[in-house]
């Protein structure tokens, strides 16, 4: 009898531990460091493009980009053009929940020599998506990313309108008039769930 109760307590403890671990892990991204093979119109495993005919690139070594990664061996680059821009997405293991607040970090940079004429300063926008590549709610934007060295951003994603199983990364202009620009992205990592301040 005692042995049975001890076994039950151990099982309950392990189940709670496993549940907590899954809850913590569920908001993490797969391949957050964008590891893969450098190339044009190439995305790392677990990331998918969101603009028809316009796929981000894997760096370094493409389009005159030579900045070393901030983490691992490779990273992502996206560009804006005159009237078009790039985006990619990942489906989370569990959705971001409305009314919850999730803290992440991400490393961003700009390459002023990108492909010779794509050196313009841009910003990163992060969207919550209810379905694949659907930009349902803007959760965060970086503002102008002008540094040519990696800068780490501490960000909070707080869905207010719905639950979102998709996270979408989008490069976008910082001015009203379209132009050619770029953003470099690495090391996008989940840190913790926080009490919401709003």
pLDDT (tens digit per residue) in 63-83 = 999 999 999 999 999 999 999
Give residue 31's region: left, alpha or beta (phi > 0; psi -120 to 50).
Answer: left
Q: How many domains does the chain have?
A: 1
Strand-pair partners of 101:
194
Range of the domain at 50: 2-194
Q: Residue 140 — φ and ψ, nearest 5°?
A: -165, 145
Residue 167: which CATH number? 2.60.120.260
pLDDT at residue 198 is higher than 70: no
State the burial class of residue 117 (Cβ atoms within 10 Å of its Cβ: 0-12, 13-18, 19+).
exposed
pTM: 0.86
pLDDT at residue 180 is higher than 80: yes
* Position 3 confidence tier, pLDDT thresholds 50, 70, 90: low
Per-residue pLDDT of 150-165, as tens digits, reads: 999 999 999 999 999 9
* CA atoms within 13 A of residue 95's CA, in its CB half-sphere: 16
């Amino acid at each position: 009898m005692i042995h049975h109760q001890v076994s039950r307590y151990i099982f309950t403890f392990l189940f709670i531990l496993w549940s907590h671990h899954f809850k913590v892990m569920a908001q993490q991204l797969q391949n957050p460091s964008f590891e893969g093979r450098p190339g044009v119109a190439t995305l790392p495993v677990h990331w998918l493009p969101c603009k028809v005919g316009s796929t981000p690139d894997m760096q370094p070594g493409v389009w005159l980009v030579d900045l070393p990664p901030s983490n691992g061996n490779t990273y992502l680059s996206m560009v804006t053009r005159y009237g078009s821009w790039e985006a990619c997405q990942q489906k989370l293991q569990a959705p971001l929940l409305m009314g919850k607040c999730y803290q992440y970090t991400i490393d961003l940079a700009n390459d002023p020599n990108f492909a010779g004429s794509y050196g313009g300063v841009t910003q990163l926008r992060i969207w919550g998506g209810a379905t694949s590549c659907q930009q349902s709610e803007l959760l965060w934007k970086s503002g102008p990313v002008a540094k040519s060295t990696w800068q780490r951003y501490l960000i909070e994603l707080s869905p207010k309108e719905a639950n979102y199983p998709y996270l979408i990364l989008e490069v976008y202009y910082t001015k009203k008039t379209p132009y050619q620009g770029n953003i470099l992205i690495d090391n996008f990592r989940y840190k913790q769930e926080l009490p919401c301040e709003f």
